[in-house]
Amino acid sequence: MSYYIHFADHLLKAKGEEVFRHVVQEGVDAYINNWKRKEAAEEKAYELKKQAEKLEALRERMKQHKDIL
């Protein structure tokens, strides 16, 4: 973490407050977007897992009752 603080301190001193705020805002936005994508991917994976479980249960039921079908 100290590397990031050192970098932020250097950026602020070298480029000024406006550039510093812009860079920090871009970093925050990127972090939030990445977090949202990760959450969406995890949710999709969960939904696909549930669908696969339902499909497997249906296949098992069909195997058990294949003589009726």
Indicate the average pLDDT of the chain.
92
pTM: 0.63
Q: What is the pLDDT of residue 68?
A: 67
CA distance 40 to 43: 5
CA distance 50 to 36: 21
Q: State pLDDT tens for residues 13-35.
A: 999 999 999 999 999 999 999 99
